[in-house]
Amino acid sequence: MVLNYNSAADVEVLLPQLRAQQDVQHTVIVVDNASPAAETQRLREVFAQSYPQGVVGSPEKVSSHIRIQSGKACAYLVLNHENHGYSSGNNIALRLAETLGVDAVLIANPDMRIEDQNYLLRLSAVLFADEKNCIAASRIVGLDDKDQNPLREPGFWDEFLWPRFALGRRLGQPASYVMPVTDKEPVPVPKVSGCCMMLRLRFLQAAGWLDESVFLYCEEPILSVKVDRVQGRILFVSALSATHAHQRGRKGHASGNMLLFIESPKYYLKHYSTYNSVQRCFLSGSYAILELAHRIKLFTTKA
């Protein structure tokens, strides 16, 4: 399933790759998160090119079609009325997947490139190898040839001393949040990127779906906590690879995006973090300073 916002050009590349997946029964669900009208029309055309017999409509229309027709279509384009963020948009597709009776879902950003035609087959084989496996993800490589998976969970000092790490990124230091993994076999990891991951539907049902209280960002650590709560596992498969063709700065203002980001860890700290009250207090202050800095930057840019 693919959640789209203003990315029809990326979806146009990804859909044929999903359609080309071999030896695994799958249905494609694309949810458009209230893109502008011209972009939505372009997405309709892109979807029709790959799936001329696909079903297009509102969440209510598509859900009704699935119930009446018993999910006979091979692809669905859902035109969401409003954009309430990553988790909300993906939950629409996840609940449609539940109605379809699927066992697992691959959540993929529009800018993913999945050229391996056995990608779904190989990743699902890992996911279903053990009942405790809740999420499986492959190696993800960016356009800069750097790995984006798997992810480590930052500690208190990582979060509190954000200026040092922000400066390091500006100086070209490697991303400290990516874990080096040399194992060729699937290995348990703390966290994987939300840009492309396969989730067992039964786990999502038990976990109460994705948390819609965050608009964007922090989906991965929240999912990690949900997996821990059911004593499950997140697996990383280094032998399998996909490309994340993300281009930084293509959408929105950097400081505006950062302000969106800051709201998510603040929510995570309150509802999911295991930090004590003193640590949460210090981190809240740290994020308040970060928020102020980006509000000033955004104001001066617009002035």
User: Residue-wise pLDDT tens for the chain (303 aa)?
Assistant: 999 999 999 999 999 999 999 999 999 999 999 999 999 999 999 999 999 999 999 999 999 999 888 767 789 999 999 999 999 999 999 999 999 999 999 999 999 999 999 999 999 999 999 999 999 999 999 999 999 999 988 788 777 776 545 544 444 555 578 998 888 899 999 999 999 999 999 999 999 999 999 887 789 999 999 999 999 999 999 999 999 998 765 555 454 566 667 788 888 888 998 889 899 888 888 878 777 776 777 667 665
d(CA 251, CA 247): 9
Q: Give the integer Cα–Cα distance in Å for 270 and 115.
A: 40
To the nearest 10°, report the CA torsion of 152, 158, 162, 164. Answer: -100
Collect all residues with Cβ–Cβ distance below 8 Å to 34 and sequence separation of at least 6: 5, 80, 81, 82, 83
Maximum Cα–Cα distance across the chain = 57
What is the pTM assigned to this prediction? 0.87
Q: Are 273 and 160 in contact (CB under 8 A)?
A: no
Identify the pLDDT of residue 280: 87
pLDDT at 250: 53
- CATH 3.90.550.60 residue spans of the chain: 2-251
pLDDT value for 73: 74
Note the pLDDT of residue 167: 43
| CATH for the stretch 2-251 | 3.90.550.60
At residue 120, the pLDDT reads 98
pLDDT at site 171 = 42
> Is residue 220 within 8 Å of residue 261, measured between CB atoms?
no
For residue 151, give the DSSP letter. Answer: B
Residue 102 burial class via C-beta count within 10 angstroms: exposed 0-12, middle 13-18, buried 19 and up: middle
Query: How many whole angstroms separate alpha carbon 201 and alpha carbon 233?
Result: 14
Q: What is the torsion angle, in degrees rounded to the nearest 10, for the CA atoms of residue 174, residue 178, residue 182 and residue 183?
A: 180
Burial (CB count within 10 angstroms: exposed 0-12, middle 13-18, buried 19+), residue 185? exposed
Q: How far is 140 from 80, CA to CA, in rounded Å? A: 28
Q: How far apart are the first and last CA of the chain?
A: 40
Picking from 291, 293, 269, the residue whose alpha carbon sits closest to that of residue 156 is: 269
Residue 165, Cβ density class (10 Å: 0-12 exposed, 13-18 middle, ≥19 buried): middle
